[in-house]
Chain A
């Protein structure tokens, strides 16, 4: 039975260790700012990517005659 912790108590250096600094430190502020910037960049990317994709697809459909195609079966991957 394991009824005792076989090592010395964790030292403060273990308990306090955070990658890139501790709470309320410059490192944590920088990580937070980078994350927020990355998130907004991703949102802009989603909007732009979809806008381009929609424009291209719409143009292709109009060129091909979309309403004629609607009478045909849905295309498959095969």
Chain B
């Protein structure tokens, strides 16, 4: 009798163990599937960036613009695999090391991020590392692509590729290690809180871009002799708006991928700092953030379609840092303010700083990104961030901002300065006038459509023939002094 009871207990224990193993495996595969689909959805961000920027380009620069987005994938992927992931896994304490020991949130994580590690290969025991890497890789593409649109129509493709590798595989992932990980020194020491990457992705990409724009200079004809800004007419604004809508769709994948889930290890959804949240909470904030952003963008820009949709992006970016803790009502108000900030910043950058940011990336991503980080300090101060519950504070957020702005701006500025000194940054002026597509690909990409003369919007809002304006701008600029044969008959 007693033996049969023992046998029954042994069988039951064995069944429970088998059940536990099965549940664990199912949980891992569920997490693996989840991250896989976030990656698929995030591809839409890049389809969107391509459409958005190509639509904003003039007809003569469409394919050269689109090709930048495509080749971002070609160069950021290997460099992030070889270097970027290791930076994220192993530099949480800063380099040189800050001296403030970070809690080891994921023991042994550093060793798993080397390209030759067991976690990087076809490891039957590891369902998570590969898809987790891919989610971060897609963040890296996004960061690199944010810069892309600002530089269109005059940067060399190869110069852009060098800069996007620096931004997408080194700069942003270093700041992510510091302030967007459970063990980063900004998190563990100052309670820095940027849950869905307002600052670490958008802000950093925007300020890196600012550094590049200073050296790159405006497109020929962008400013008149009084320094007033003209507006180039993108060849297809509908395509631009469609691109933005694709980016918005992809953002749902981005937001979801910023969370951590594995039910047999964690009690539920966690943010990147391993603090609890829910997928529903962040989905609510992103959705109402778009609504507020469109509204703010519309009114701040007086109904301009481009800035209305860009306002939606800015609205979401403004509430991303606190998306895990904001009430939707608060997110609505803050996203409206974020869009207004973006529109004002865009005008300031274009008209006062006279920097030719073709798509407003510095304003929408850079300024609004750090504005979003600041908002967390104001509206979510005291929230216990991370595994050791360090309180988020305005001071901590400011330290993060003061760390990230130079970390982003200086590499962008000096790398582009070096390329400029080597004459590798910008296409020759005559090539810019004719359009990059003919130089890069020797063809027009609308062969069955009749071409019309290029138009430009004057600072007074008049639509004018662009050709004499561009030629005049060329002659007045330092470019015009160089080749004596420009304009001569063949």
Chain A contact residues, CB within 8 Å of chain B: 10, 14-15, 18, 22-25, 28-29, 31-32, 35-36, 39, 42-43, 46-47, 49-51, 53-55, 57-58, 61-71, 73-78
Residues of A within 8 A of B460 (CB): none
Residues of A within 8 A of B156 (CB): 50, 54
CB distance from A11 to the nearest CB of B (A): 11
Contact B428 A67 (CB under 8 A): no
* B213 is an interface residue with CB less than 8 A from chain A: no
**Considering the chains assembled together, what is the distance between the CA atoms of A74 and B431 in angstroms?**
13
Contact B427 A65 (CB under 8 A): no
**Considering the chains assembled together, what is the distance between the CA atoms of A53 and B254 in angstroms?**
38
**Considering the chains assembled together, what is the distance between the CA atoms of A43 and B161 in angstroms?**
8
Contacts across chains A and B counted by CB atoms under 8 Å: 128
Contact A46 B121 (CB under 8 A): no
CB distance from B57 to the nearest CB of A (A): 14
Tell whether A62 pairs with B121 under 8 Å between CB atoms, given A43-B75, A70-B471, A75-B444.
no
* B106 is an interface residue with CB less than 8 A from chain A: no
Residues of A within 8 A of B158 (CB): 43, 46-47, 49-51
Q: Which chain B residue has the least Cβ–Cβ distance from A71?
A: B467
Residues from 18 to 73 in B contacting A, C-beta threshold 8 Å: 59-60
Q: Which chain B residue has the least Cβ–Cβ distance from A15?
A: B124
Residues of A within 8 A of B453 (CB): 73
Return 17 A-B CB contacts under 8 Å, by A number.
Answer: A10-B124, A22-B118, A22-B121, A43-B75, A46-B157, A53-B439, A53-B440, A54-B431, A54-B439, A61-B430, A61-B434, A63-B490, A64-B490, A66-B433, A67-B474, A68-B487, A76-B448
The interface on chain B, measured as residues whose beta carbon lies within 8 A of the other chain's beta carbons, has a size of 53
**Considering the chains assembled together, what is the distance between the CA atoms of A24 and B430 in angstroms?**
52
Of A15, A24, A32, A76, chain B has the most CB atoms within 10 Å of the CB of A76
CB distance from A76 to the nearest CB of B (A): 5
Instruction: Encode B363-386 as 1/0 by CB contact (under 8 A) with A.
Output: 000000000000000000000000
Residues of B within 8 A of A39 (CB): 75, 78-79, 82
Contact A24 B451 (CB under 8 A): no
Tell whether A15 pairs with B117 under 8 Å between CB atoms, given A57-B431, A73-B451.
no
Contact A78 B447 (CB under 8 A): yes
Residues of A within 8 A of B430 (CB): 58, 61-62, 66
Residues of A within 8 A of B157 (CB): 46, 50
Contact A65 B487 (CB under 8 A): yes
Residues of B within 8 A of A15 (CB): 124-125
* B438 is an interface residue with CB less than 8 A from chain A: yes
* B398 is an interface residue with CB less than 8 A from chain A: no
Q: Interface SS of chain B: helix, strand, loop or mixed?
A: loop
* B462 is an interface residue with CB less than 8 A from chain A: no
Contact of B486 among A49, A67, A74 (CB under 8 A): A67
Residues of B within 8 A of A71 (CB): 467
Contact A62 B444 (CB under 8 A): no
Contact A24 B116 (CB under 8 A): yes
Residues of A within 8 A of B60 (CB): 74
Contact of A76 among B123, B125, B447 (CB under 8 A): B447
**Considering the chains assembled together, what is the distance between the CA atoms of A15 and B118 in angstroms?**
12
Residues of A within 8 A of B117 (CB): 23-24
Instruction: Encode B414-436 as 1/0 by CB contact (under 8 A) with A.
Output: 00000000001001101101110
Contact B434 A54 (CB under 8 A): no
Tell whether A67 pairs with B121 under 8 Å between CB atoms, given A32-B82, A35-B82, A58-B428.
no
Q: Which chain B residue has the least Cβ–Cβ distance from A36?
A: B82
Contact B121 A23 (CB under 8 A): yes
Contact A70 B451 (CB under 8 A): no
Residues of A within 8 A of B486 (CB): 62, 65-67
**Considering the chains assembled together, what is the distance between the CA atoms of A63 and B489 in angstroms?**
8
**Considering the chains assembled together, what is the distance between the CA atoms of A47 and B423 in angstroms?**
11
Of B122, B434, B451, B452, chain A has the most CB atoms within 10 Å of the CB of B434
Q: Which chain A residue has the least Cβ–Cβ distance from B446?
A: A76
CB distance from B428 to the nearest CB of A (A): 4
Residues of A within 8 A of B125 (CB): 15
Contact B161 A46 (CB under 8 A): yes
Contact of B487 among A14, A22, A32, A66 (CB under 8 A): A66
**Considering the chains assembled together, what is the distance between the CA atoms of A50 and B155 in angstroms?**
12
Of A10, A68, A70, A77, chain B has the most CB atoms within 10 Å of the CB of A70
Tell whether A61 pairs with B161 under 8 Å between CB atoms, given A35-B78, A53-B440, A70-B467.
no
